[in-house]
Amino acid sequence: VIFSSWRPTLDIVHYALDSARVGCVLVDGCVSPPNYKLALEKLRYDPQACVYLITISCGAVGLGLTTASRAYLLEPQWNPTTQEQALARVHRMGQTRTVRTVRFVVGGSFEDVCKARAHTAAGAHSK
């Protein structure tokens, strides 16, 4: 599962995967409920569809992705709860495999600021 806040970012990843002939499904908040359900079924049952691209706002709510064994966050989130809710869709009950999470952060960028802010906010919530 590849999470991003930005649909254009996912479009670029989708293009790269498609060019490499890697089957993938892209879903964001604009997908109708019937097409959303079809996308989930494709990911679960189509052996060619092995990558799920999803906007984090769409993927953070009421969705189980326990068929996945890897989760990639393409950018840090301002709100650490949103990020953790999205990751919980992969790590939830029913998951039978070890899940690896990869978080991408570009050093010296605005993403570093987001990461530091999220880390500070997470510490404040745990006290």
CB 14 within 8 A of CB 84: no
Residue type, 95: Q
Distance CA 109, CA 111 (A): 5
Task: Give the model confidence (pLDDT) of 94-114 as tens digits.
Answer: 777 888 889 888 878 777 777
Average pLDDT, the chain: 80
Domain of residue 14, CATH code: 3.40.50.300
Domain holding 58, by residue range, is 2-126
The tens place of each residue's pLDDT in the chain, 127 residues long, gives 999 999 999 999 999 999 999 988 888 877 777 887 787 787 778 888 889 899 988 754 556 677 778 899 998 877 778 888 888 888 777 777 888 889 888 878 777 777 677 667 666 555 4
Q: Which of 106, 116, 110 is nearest to 80 (CA)?
A: 116
Neighbouring-strand partners of residue 72? 2, 102
Question: How many domains, in total, are found in the chain?
Answer: 1
Distance CA 68, CA 88 (A): 12
Distance CA 82, CA 93 (A): 19
Cα Dmax for the chain: 47
Burial call 33-69: b when 16+ CB within 10 Å, e when fewer? eeebeebbeebeeeeebebbbbbbebbbeebebbbbe
